[in-house]
Structure 1
Amino acid sequence: MPTLQVLLHDPAWRRPWRVLLLALLMAVSWLAFMPHPPDNQLPQGDKINHLLAFATLAAVACLGLTPARRQAVAAAAGLLAYGGFIELVQTQLPGRSGEWPDLLADGAGIALGLAAAAALRHLKRP
Structure 2
Amino acid sequence: MFLASLPRPLRLALYALATAILLAMCLVPQQDLPSAHMGDKIEHSIAWFVLTMTGLLLSHHRPLAIAAFAIGLGVAVELLQAIMGFGRHGDWRDLVADTLGVAVALVIYALVRRLRRR
1:63 corresponds, among 38, 54, 57, to 57
CA 1:14/1:54 → structure 2, altered by over 3 Å: closer, same or farther?
farther
**TM-score (normalizing by structure 1):** 0.75
1:42: which partner in 2?
37
Name the residue aligned to 1:105.
97
Residues 40-77 of structure 1 deviation map (CA, whole Å, 9 limit, x = unaligned): 3636x11111111111111111222243xxx2112111
Give a deviation string over 1:16-55, Cα, whole Å, max 9, x none.
5443322110100111110224363636x11111111111
Stretches of structure 2 that go unaligned for 5 or more consecutive residues are none
Equivalent pair of 2:78/2:90 in contact (CA under 8 Å): yes
Q: How many matched pairs?
A: 114
Mapped to 1, the partners of 2:90 and 2:42 lie a distance apart of 16
Runs (5+) with no aligned partner, structure 1: 1-5
CA contact (8 A) 2:28 2:86 kept: no
Matched with 1:74 is: 65
**Greater share of helix residues, 1 or 2?**
2
| Higher RCO, Cα 8 Å, sep 6+ | 1
Q: Which amino acid aligns with 1:95?
A: G
- Structure 1 window deviating more from structure 2 (24-33 vs 116-125): it is 116-125
